[in-house]
Amino acid sequence: MARRRSSKSTVEPDTGAASAAARKGILVLHGPNLNLLGTREPEHYGKQTLADVDAALIEQGAAAGVEVICFQSNAEFALIDRVHAAKTEGVGFILI
């Protein structure tokens, strides 16, 4: 005798990236020379500064209920140290 499939379906709770980010926050790492945005060749790169970019990211994160932490360094070791520190801070995602 063949088994019948149940007609009931279940919906799993949202465990996607958005909910994880909301629980833990996002670390945004900016690498070498990005501190010069808005000042170095603004006719080529534009006038928006890194502070402007960070403010926009933080604002968008806040609107979505997510804490955004921005960090910039010209030194690779400082970026690596920041990644390691994020592990103990409960950061859910890192954007590089």
Q: How far is the C-alpha of 93 from the C-alpha of 2, rounded, in Å?
A: 47
List the domain boundaries for the chain: 19-95
pLDDT digits (tens, 9 = 90+) for 8-42: 544 454 455 555 544 579 999 999 999 999 999 99
CATH class of the domain at 19-95: alpha beta
Which residue shows structure tokens 């006038």? 47
The tokens of 50 are what?
């890194």
State residue 78's pLDDT score: 98
Per DSSP, 11 falls in state -
pLDDT digits (tens, 9 = 90+) for 75-86: 999 999 999 999
Specify the higher pLDDT residue, 5 or 66. Answer: 66
The tokens of 34 are what?
């990005």
